[in-house]
């Protein structure tokens, strides 16, 4: 078996691996990027990009159905499922090609195709032909969808996010399992594209929403569009002629059996760590076999191994994977010097409609005792001016501050333009702004951001008891 | 004639006046709010709110026409002009009612209806019945549309933003004069609602855009939707049977005469100062008869008079009017103590489509010599990932920093979600962030905000020559 000594080996050429490679390469030219499957990232191939493309089509159809509010009459709306998926794939492939072009630009000597596994600390075998002796190692192997046993017999009737986009046309019906980010985004999009959707959850969670009031509100909204049960009782899942038969306890009708073209399983993702033979790595592993990793350095213990991106399951979203890759690549490149980096303000978005955004400290998930250190401000978007103007006046925003300092620490939102509001608030958290400072910022009129001001004002009133009674309509525009 | 002595008189009960009243009232109960016309603000009655309502209908119709991109076929689209305007008025009236409710809540003793004029410093006559002797005075009389002489004979065929929303239905054709904010917003909305629109400008300006490249790009975009000439030569405007006849030099066809149902005149607004008899006020006036006003206090010279909102023409947008009213009301309330307030970061939005946002220092308007102190970064939205996904990939963003400090000072954008990006950037300007600090903030994926990062990175590269060559596709998601 060939042997090759490198300063840095990076396992996985996804978003985190590519970013780690880029950072490590500034320190050494003796490095290798190992890809076990095919190039192109989860994000581009099966994740962010194709899902947003499907959602764009769904929004287009949905908005066309709702022009009546504005005095616009629209004739028959026909969703051409083949064309919808054709555009999704065509545009997705462009994004994939842009990633592949980046990979092509990496010198061949730095790339190695094959599955890597540890045979000892510092020692990886790739395929059966080459052993890599690496001074430092970055693990960036990503994740893949969980498929619980109950779905195993469904064959082609089983879809995950990877395979959904490969369908020749939109199905007539889909049973979606999982009410997390992926299930919610794809399930709602399918529903808005005319697919009969039933969505089944188990734990009660919904799009990762922490606050119970917001969660319940969101469940009500989604339930008006498609059947949704976040505490479902599914009694049978069977492959039958022409589809999948699902027996479940319907919220209204009791025990029923329904036939679906497909099941879409979106019950979470697991890190791709099994094939790495981590028991040979010398790393300390937790009960799930995952190496313990320090978030500020991405280092596993005091070892020269770094674990990044979806593979460490700390913050499985693209911008965090890229950020982690950069930190780890930099540290791997200059090891034994390891630098702690301040992590960015936590920020996640669900591209449902309305959207969900979570920023900073998840106060909504805290116990009553923990919450005593914080104060909350609210805004309903039902009566928010601009949201009403555009007919998107559904949703709730909650903003949180430290009780003693007035420091803005986080927010959760289900509502219009949440991806944009999320940026404004995530930047505010990262800069450690106080609520007063935020209220001194410009809010244009009439904008959805004025709802943020409403919530911040409530927060401010609670933080500082003043004798001023602010009449909102005098301080700002009508319907702000 | 009755006489009444007050601590503070506020002339005008619009946005700035109401805010000033609210602030002054914290200092004294002996004050009066004088309204010369009817209650309800420009914003609610004829400005922000009805225009955004009309635009919402226009966007709805436009989006329904463009579903084909996504694989969605839509039958005939019929714009029901009566229903469109019915909704505009119905929703607008709700906003007006919310303002009137605020006015109702003001004690009767604090309100006075009638036209105010100075008869001497500190002395106002309101109507012909009462003289107000005011220790301090806040002028908040707002503005009204300019109607150049050439339009004076058109009678009912002449529309301004006030009267447009009162039409029973949408006209077949409108000639729009003025390519500023109002002309552009309303003209494009009418065009997207199926009205035949010709838009005539004179000075070459377009939606207040400072940067020439962005301006030209925007002109190209708008010109694809409706006839637009920002350097128009109009030879004749005449009222004729069935409409208005307009002779003009067509950009392609040369001299032509076209018939329109209406002309919409949006050639700027003038402060409502004429009826105040300011020559009796003792205030120093500029060549246009406008009192000289200090922006940080809104005080006119060292007098106890304050001039706020559209009436001072400094920043005729709602949130600035409210902010000015608050500063002036507070200062009038506690005069002779006058406190300087730091003004908010300049920020304006045009709700065209794509939108226009201007933030901070208008570097785009500077001379070449002045611009040398600044560095610019650019992003085109034509190849920006999320913008492409949603089919809104048109536009340009320019961001500006001080060359020596790396301080972010401003931006101008024509593109998708500019109202939201504008908030993010206006807050950054107000906080005096450096470009480096902004680049350390979270940018989710895939979002339009990633275009901001692209522009900031270019700016950063110019500010600090580094040896790092960043391959964008490794640092972020595909198509960011």
A interface test, pick of B40, B63, B72 with most A CB neighbours within 10 Å: B72
- Quote the pLDDT of residue B1: 85
Arithmetic mean of pLDDT, B390-396: 98
- What 3-state DSSP class applies to A95? helix
pLDDT one digit per residue (tens) for chain A, 480 residues: 899 999 999 999 999 999 999 999 999 999 999 999 999 999 999 999 999 999 999 999 999 999 999 999 999 999 999 999 999 999 999 999 999 999 999 999 999 999 999 999 999 999 988 999 999 999 999 999 999 999 999 999 999 998 999 999 999 999 999 999 999 999 999 999 999 999 999 999 999 999 999 999 999 999 999 999 999 999 999 999 999 999 999 999 999 999 999 999 999 999 999 999 999 999 999 998 899 999 999 999 999 999 999 999 888 899 999 999 999 999 999 999 999 999 999 999 999 999 999 999 999 999 999 999 999 999 999 999 999 999 999 999 999 999 999 999 999 999 999 999 999 999 999 999 999 999 999 999 999 999 999 999 999 999 976 434 445 555 567 777
Q: Which of A464, A463, A439, A462 is nearest to A452 (CA)?
A: A439
User: pLDDT value at position B477?
Assistant: 73
Name the residue facing A73 among B53, B78, B422 (closest C-beta).
Answer: B78
Question: What residues have CB less than 8 Å from B90, skipping those under 6 apart?
Answer: none
B2-145+270-334 belongs to CATH 3.40.1230.10: no
**What is the side-by-side order of every strand in the sheet holding B254-260?**
B234-240, B243-250, B254-260
Q: How far apart are CA B452 and CA B457, in angstroms?
A: 9
Helix (H, G, I), strand (E, B) or coil at A466: coil
Residue A212 contacts by C-beta under 8 Å, 6 or more apart in sequence?
A364
Q: Which of B61, B322, B442 sits opposite A67 (nearest CB)?
A: B61
Would you say the CATH fold of B347-475 matches that of B2-145+270-334? no
Mean pLDDT of the B438-448 span: 98
CB contact under 8 A, B72 and A77: yes
A75/B70 CB distance under 8 A? no
DSSP assignments along A177-238, one per residue: E--SHHHHHHHHHHHHTT-EEEEE-SSS--TT---HHHHHHHHHHHHTTSEEETT--EEEEE
Q: Predicted confidence band at B469 (pLDDT cuts at 50, 70, 90)?
A: very low
Q: What ipTM describes this predicted complex? A: 0.96
CATH ID of B149-268, from 3.40.50.620, 3.90.1150.10, 3.50.50.60, 2.60.40.3140: 3.50.50.60
Contact B446 A70 (CB under 8 A): no
The CA distance from A259 to A197, in Å, is 11
* Interatomic CA distance for residues B83 and B87, integer angstroms: 6
pLDDT of residue B475: 58
Residues A36, A114 contacting (CB under 8 angstroms) = yes
User: What are residue A401's DSSP bridge partners?
Assistant: A375, A408
Q: Say yes or no to pLDDT of B225 above 80.
A: yes
| Domain locations along chain A | 2-145+270-334, 149-268, 347-475
B469 against A230, higher pLDDT? A230
A464 CB-contact burial (10 Å; exposed 0-12 / middle 13-18 / buried 19+): exposed
Phi then psi dihedrals of residue B302, to 5 deg: -105, 15
Pairing of strands A262-265, A173-177: parallel
pLDDT recorded at residue A465: 60
Q: Using a pLDDT cut of 90, give the percent of chain B over it.
A: 94
Task: Tell me what pLDDT residue B134 has.
Answer: 98
Average pLDDT, chain B: 95
**Once rounded to an integer, what is the mean pLDDT over residues B225-238?**
97
Is residue B470 predicted with pLDDT exceeding 70? no
Least confident of A82-91, B188-197, B459-468: B459-468
The answer to whether the CB atoms of A77 and B67 lie below 8 A apart is yes
Asked if B322's CB is within 8 angstroms of A475's CB, the reply is yes
How far lies A315's CA from each of A44, A269, B441, in Å?
18, 12, 16
| CA of residue B63 relative to chain centroid, distance | 24
- Chain B CB contacts of A53 under 8 Å are 389
Would you state the CATH architecture of domain B347-475?
2-Layer Sandwich (3.30)
Longest Cα–Cα distance of chain A, Å, equals: 80
Comparing alpha-carbon positions, the chain B residue that sits nearest to A50 is B389
> CA of A462 to nearest chain B CA: how many angstroms apart?
20
- Locate B99 and state its tokens: 């303002």
Taking contacts as CB-CB distances below 8 angstroms, the residues of chain A near B345 are 441-442
Of A48, A94, A428, the CB nearest to B477: A48
The Cα of A369 is separated from the nearest Cα of chain B by a number of Å equal to 30
State residue A128's pLDDT score.
Answer: 86
Q: What is the pLDDT of residues B255-281, one digit of tens each?
A: 999 999 999 999 999 999 999 999 999
- Please report residues of A whose CB lies closer than 8 A to that of B75: 74-77
Judge: A479–B94 Cβ closer than 8 Å, yes or no: yes
For B419, the closest of A433, A444, A473 (CB atoms) is A444
- Residue A288 has a CB neighbour count (10 Å cut-off) of 9
Kindly state the helix (H) or strand (E) to which residue B387 belongs, with its residue range. Answer: helix B385-389
pTM here is 0.96
| pLDDT above 50: residue B466 | no
Closest CA–CA distance from residue A419 to any residue of chain B (Å)? 8
Closest-approach residue (CA) in chain A for B471: A102
Nearest to B385 among A21, A60, A95 (CB): A95
């Amino acid at each position: 078996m060939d042997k090759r000594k490198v300063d840095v080996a990076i396992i996985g050429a996804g978003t985190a691996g590519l970013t780690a490679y880029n950072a490590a390469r500034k320190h050494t030219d003796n490095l290798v990027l190992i890809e076990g499957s095919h190039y192109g990232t989860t994000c581009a191939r099966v994740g962010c990009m194709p899902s947003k493309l499907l959602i764009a089509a769904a929004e287009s159809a949905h908005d066309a159905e709702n022009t009546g509010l504005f005095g616009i009459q629209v004739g028959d709306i026909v969703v051409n499922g083949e064309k919808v998926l054709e555009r999704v794939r065509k545009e997705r492939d462009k994004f994939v090609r842009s990633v592949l072009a980046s990979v092509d630009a990496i010198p061949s000597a730095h790339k190695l195709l094959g599955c890597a596994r540890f045979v000892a600390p510092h020692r990886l075998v790739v395929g059966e032909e080459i052993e890599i002796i690496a001074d430092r190692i970055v693990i960036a192997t990503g994740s893949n969808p969980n498929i619980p046993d109950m779905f195993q017999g469904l064959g082609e009737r089983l879809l995950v996010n990877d395979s959904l986009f490969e369908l020749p046309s939109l199905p007539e019906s889909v049973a979606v399992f999982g009410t997390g980010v992926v299930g919610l985004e794809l399930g709602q999009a399918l529903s808005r594209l005319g697919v009969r959707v039933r969505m089944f959850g188990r734990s009660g969670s919904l799009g990762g929403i922490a606050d119970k009031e917001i969660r319940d509100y969101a469940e009500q909204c989604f339930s008006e569009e498609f059947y949704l049960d976040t505490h479902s009782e599914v009694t049978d899942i069977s492959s039958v002629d022409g589809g999948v038969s699902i027996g479940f306890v319907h919220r209204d009708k009791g025990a029923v059996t329904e036939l679906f073209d497909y099941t879409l399983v979106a019950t979470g993702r697991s890190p791709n760590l099994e094939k790495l033979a981590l028991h040979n790595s010398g790393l300390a592993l937790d009960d799930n076999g995952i190496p313990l990793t320090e978030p500020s350095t991405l280092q596993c213990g005091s070892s020269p191994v770094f674990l990044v991106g979806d593979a460490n399951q700390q913050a499985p979203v693209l911008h965090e994977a890229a950020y982690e890759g950069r930190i780890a690549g930099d540290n791997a490149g200059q090891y034994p010097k390891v630098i702690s980096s301040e992590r960015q303000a936590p920020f996640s978005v669900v591209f449902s409609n309305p959207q969900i955004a979570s920023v900073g400290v998840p106060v909504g998930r805290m116990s009553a005792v923990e919450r005593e250190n914080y104060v909350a401000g609210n805004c309903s978007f039902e009566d928010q001016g601009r949201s009403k103007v555009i007919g998107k006046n559904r949703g709730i925003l909650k903003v949180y501050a430290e009780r003693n300092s007035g420091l803005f620490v986080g927010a959760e939102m289900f509502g219009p333009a949440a991806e944009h509001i999320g940026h404004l608030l995530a930047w505010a958290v990262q800069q450690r702004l106080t609520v007063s400072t935020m209220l001194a910022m410009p809010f244009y009129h009439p904008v959805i951001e004025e709802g943020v001001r409403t919530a911040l004002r409530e927060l401010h009133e609670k933080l500082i008891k003043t004798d001023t009674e602010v009449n909102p309509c005098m301080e700002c525009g009508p319907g702000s």
